[in-house]
Amino acid sequence: MLDLRLIEKDPTLLSKSLLKRNYTQEDTNNIIQQIAKLAEDRKKGIQKTDDLKNERNQISKEFGELKKKGEDVSSLSKRMGFLKEELENLDSQLIETENQLNQILLN
């Protein structure tokens, strides 16, 4: 398996390796571009997931405090439901992106 950090740091190493394995320059460039795009999508997905989890944790804390006081928590409850659904969608997208990236890196 290829090391993603190494490829990001110096894509010419991968390019040289692929050219030695009889890939065309065009195919090599396409592979490097695919890896770069998927790696960027992965990073963005992880960042967005982390941001949503932080928001969920803050809302959860606020939810508990308001519930203790006997105040209305319906808007927070709706937001929590939205965040749960959004996180599930992002997680499945992230898994798909990682699978695609790993498939390229393994070949």
Residue 2: strand, helix, or coil: coil
pLDDT, position 1: 66
Contacts of 88 (CB under 8 A, 6+ apart): none
DSSP label at residue 11: H
> Which pLDDT tens digit goes with each residue over 45-97?
999 999 999 999 999 999 999 989 999 989 999 999 999 999 999 999 999 99
More confidently predicted of 67 and 100: 100
Note the pTM of the prediction, 2 decimals. 0.82
Alpha carbon distance 105, 89 (integer Å)? 24
